[in-house]
Amino acid sequence: MDYKKINNLLGWICGIIATIVYVMTVERTVSWWDCGEFIASAYKMQIVHQPGAPLFLMIQNVFSNLAMGDVTRIAFWMNIGSTVCSGLTILFLFWTITALARKVFVGTLRDVEINPLQLFLIMASGVVGALAYAFTDTFWFSAVESEVYAMSSLCTAVVFWAILKWEARADEPQADKWLILIAYVMGLSIGVHLLNLLVIPAIALVIYFRKTKESTGAGIFKALALGVVVLGFILWGVIQYSVKIAAYFDLFFVNTLGLGFGSGLAFFILLLVGGLVYGIYYSSKKNKYILNIAMISTAFIILGYSSFAMIMIRAKADPTLNNSDPDNAFSFLSYLNREQYGDEPLFKGKFFDARPTGVEDGKKVYRKDGNKYVVAKRNPVYSYDRETLFPRIYSDKGGHPEYYREYLGLGPNESPTFADNVKFFFGYQIGHMYGRYFLWNFAGRQNDQQGHGSFTEGNWISGIKPIDNTLVGGQDVLPASAKTDPSRNTYFFLPLILGLLGAFWHFGKRQRDAGVVGLLFFFTGIAIVLYLNQNPLQPRERDYAYAGSFYAFSIWIGLGVMAIADFLRKKTNVKVAGYAAAVVGVLAGPVILIAQNYDDHNRSEKSLARDMARNYLESCAPNAILFSYGDNDTYPLWYVQEVEGFRTDVRVVNLSLLSADWYMKQMMKKVNDADALPINIDPELIKDGVRDVIYYQDYNIPGYVPVQDLLKVMLSDNPQNKAQLQSGEFVNVLPTKKMELAVDKQAVLANKVVPKEWESALVDTMRWTYSQNYASRAELSMLAILANNNWERPIYYTITTPETNYMGLDRYLVNEGFAYRLMPVDFGLKEGDPSTIENIDQIYANVMNKFSWGNIGNASYIDPDSYRYISMYVGSIYGQPAQQLLSSGETDKAKNLVLDAYENMPKRAFLMSEVMGYVPLLSVMYEVGETTKANEIAQRNLTYIRENMAYYEAVAKTKSNLEYRNMRFGLASIQRYKQLLDEVDQPELKKQADALFNTYRHYFEQGGE
């Protein structure tokens, strides 16, 4: 039998099967998180967030052409780009597994015949391992959206497959061309994601084992050390220091020689290319083979890395999305180094409760200024009173110290120790942020709720009840909502067991090969944990970072077929053992994984990310300014404007980026159909290093100060308008928090800023107390817009923007749907009250005529990024406006609103906060006579409360205080439903609410503690 033909054919079949499944389940439009930015940037060749992914963007741009000009299909075709990359990854994984399995029988010999049963077992191993990985949770998630991880996985698969191809041909002439291919793919992968580079230590070990006759412990250590050195050379030498050296060449050519920007960079590139060419020529002429391979490999790595030229080229074109504006050597260096995000300490750092004891000037930060580079600032380097080696509990940012203390059991004033540091590393970083993800993929997943330590959220399970702790006192306490949750996936440890059998068997049969796979498993798993040093309360799950580790384990899942066959061979005849092992492997791997994972990985019915972006924009009047904050409101907005061309008259302003000088300058330019923001600040006054932040210093100024006057003070270069520090330096300050803005009523009326019936509530002057202790460029920009806009353009905040970003303007913000509009009206709200003013007529018109809901009412699966919004929908968008319509006598409109909610909202409960949010909506439904529908929802929610409260209580008894947070939500829900059902004549439901209250009365009496 022709091994090569069968191997190729089955490999392609596996890849095609995976691709077909991915195409069936692929998202039809934009997804949450970075996908909106990537799709928008790939479509128009723009600059994404640091450190960029230029090759990914260029390849995705090719896929966008398959939309044939239909802009609503561009996201779909870019998602298809990921499915193709993922299918090819499965293809190369199959060939990798069969290559390793074949070596068990014939080693590295290529021309040795294998018998039919051996061929069957090799191919069965490839099918089981490849298709098992294809349908794992993490890989499947990335396979159906336009993100870098699918293409990054393909790079990893190609590289690892290529080193095995080299190994099989290492004694043949020109075999080292495979090493050159590996170098080139690695260079290309830098333009996608850096994860692929972690294969290098495993490659070093393969080369060592193949080239040495007798391996030793010292030799293995040296090979690994060399692999790590090569990894460091590429990661820092090629990626960072080559650009850093180029930047300093440019500094010399520009500042010293007086040449133009980029001249030093061009000279360095010529020097580098010339040095590589000479090195290749010299090593070839002198027959220095290893040097020759090293030089050619370096050249191909740099050739692949050259995709980053696209970043500088497109930055100079100043596209709409131009993150960090890396148009010169130093801004490009900052972009590559991810300086926007800061660094996590790795070897030495502070404890979270440490206090700074000193500060020194760090490295210089250069900016382009006129025709020179100048030092913008020096990054401060702090010393602390409490530092430690291997810092793991270091972050003092929002909520992190409190989380550390709760997780480690520390008192309010208790200082952590190195032992606490290690405990957090093993318990949280290894256990929660890696081990949990690993078991998600191979044991089972409890649900898709993001957990930060709660026992009932986002943990791994197996499906075996005693192990999963769903039995309390012998009773199954798991609520029906959890049992029927599509994201509850139970594999009964079968893929895990299969992989462990394969690993043990592999180490027993081919220890060297198993060691290589194990090294790949370690460097793409635990090594990433060590490097990332993640702090707690991550905004999203981070399992995608470890996909390479799960890839390596899937190799062993495939080899598990060989292990089972080996065991059964002792019990029965060889053929039966082989066939039985293949059947067991298929059922325990691909079959159970696709059966359990299909429903919660099928995104074909989803469109909420796109629809939410449209809803934000549809909430805005023409030519509006819309302030956003987070990734999940900003990136979809960029997508619908840049790709679909929807409501391009609205200027979207991300407040997280607005504190950067480059972004503030971009906001002063016209984009698409949106005019420049009326900031009117000289860019020289806010360039990098100048007024990066202005701190509040109380000057005891009586009364309120006009915003225009405060801006003059904060932007003044006059020392009389500044405060002098102990160092003698003069700095700008914010001298008061009491601010006011005179209102031009004629302009307000002319521009129809407020509804006609609200004109009597117009104020002559808006007065508020600024809510922060500093002003960054973001706050300066917003204050300048207030001062200069004169109500010509509507100003909005997305409803998801944190209140801390309102600058204290809360009581002047009016809800018009998915955005709060700034209006100079006074309805008697006190300063500091939350924004509760609602333009009911506008909300009603938007909900009934403009808003879309991403099919969440009919979709068989709703992802957590989508269902987190439901409580806001049923409360702020439907419930509260319906109540106000009812109280104002507009019963028909109130009824229309609640019926619209009934049709468009999901028919199941997801979270206790969402259940509680339904109460205002239900109240109106009863009032307008929709009793049957109201009872349906109330019954559903009461059942959810009853079952989940029983579960929380049972778990809390066995797991300390882990579930009291969830119980407090439940207690509040019981109280709300009891109050509601006391007011309406529904005795059956009231009886259920009373029973719930009585069951948990003792918690109410204890204050829920």
pLDDT at 340: 76
* 307 vs 970, higher pLDDT: 307
Q: Which residue type occupies 175?
A: A
| Strand-pair partners of 671 | 674
Range from 330-344, 500-514, 594-608 carrying the lowest mean pLDDT: 330-344
Query: Residue 961's pLDDT band (boundaries 50, 70, 90)?
Result: low
For 645, residues 6+ apart whose C-beta sits below 8 A from its C-beta are 71
Maximum mean pLDDT: which of 17-26, 378-387, 835-844: 17-26
pLDDT at 1009: 42
Average pLDDT over residues 816-830: 89
Query: How far is 468 from 480, CA to CA, in rounded Å?
Result: 16
What letter does residue 830 receive in the DSSP assignment?
Answer: P
Over residues 572-591, the pLDDT tens digits come to 888 999 999 999 999 999 99
Reduced to 3 states (helix: H, G, I; strand: E, B; else coil), residue 814 is: strand
Query: How far is 155 from 185, CA to CA, in rounded Å?
Result: 7
Query: How far is 929 from 912, CA to CA, in rounded Å?
Result: 26
pLDDT at 477: 79
Residue 830 has pLDDT above 70, yes or no: no
pLDDT at 1008: 45
Omega of the bond prior to 51 within 30 degrees of 0, cis? yes
Please say whether the beta carbons of 855 and 606 come within 8 A. yes
Residue 186 has pLDDT above 60, yes or no: yes
Find where tokens 């050379």 sit. Answer: 233
Query: How far is 215 from 822, CA to CA, in rounded Å?
Result: 72
pLDDT at 963: 60
Average pLDDT over residues 755-764: 92
Average pLDDT over residues 272-286: 94
Please say whether the beta carbons of 39 and 75 come within 8 A. yes
Query: Residue 476's pLDDT band (boundaries 50, 70, 90)?
Result: confident
pLDDT at 820: 95
- Extract the runs of DSSP E, i.e. beta strands, from 638-780: 651-654, 693-696, 705-706, 722-724, 730-734, 738-742, 765-769, 774-776
> What are the φ/ψ torsions at residue 489 (nearest 5 degrees)?
-120, 120
Instruction: Determine what percent of the chain is predicted with pLDDT higher than 90.
Output: 79
Average pLDDT over residues 245-265: 94
pLDDT at 44: 96
**Region for residue 569 given its phi and psi (left: phi exceeds 0; alpha: psi -120 to 50; beta: otherwise):** alpha
Please say whether the beta carbons of 43 and 74 come within 8 A. yes
* 907 vs 452, higher pLDDT: 907
Query: How far is 192 from 57, CA to CA, in rounded Å?
Result: 8
Q: How far is CA 512 from CA 111, 203, 210, 221, 516, in A?
A: 22, 12, 10, 13, 6
Reduced to 3 states (helix: H, G, I; strand: E, B; else coil), residue 146 is: coil
Q: How far is CA 541 from CA 140, 282, 395, 718, in A?
A: 15, 50, 19, 49
> What are the φ/ψ torsions at residue 244 (nearest 5 degrees)?
-65, -45
Average of per-residue pLDDT values in the chain: 92
Over residues 45-101, the pLDDT tens digits come to 999 999 989 999 999 999 999 999 999 999 999 999 999 999 999 999 999 999 999
Average pLDDT over residues 945-964: 75
Query: Residue 132's pLDDT band (boundaries 50, 70, 90)?
Result: very high
Over residues 450-474, the pLDDT tens digits come to 876 666 778 899 988 888 767 666 6
Q: How far is CA 630 from CA 644, 799, 937, in A?
A: 21, 11, 32
Residue 954 has pLDDT above 90, yes or no: no
Query: How far is 657 from 633, CA to CA, in rounded Å?
Result: 13
Over residues 530-564, the pLDDT tens digits come to 999 999 988 899 999 999 999 999 999 999 999 99
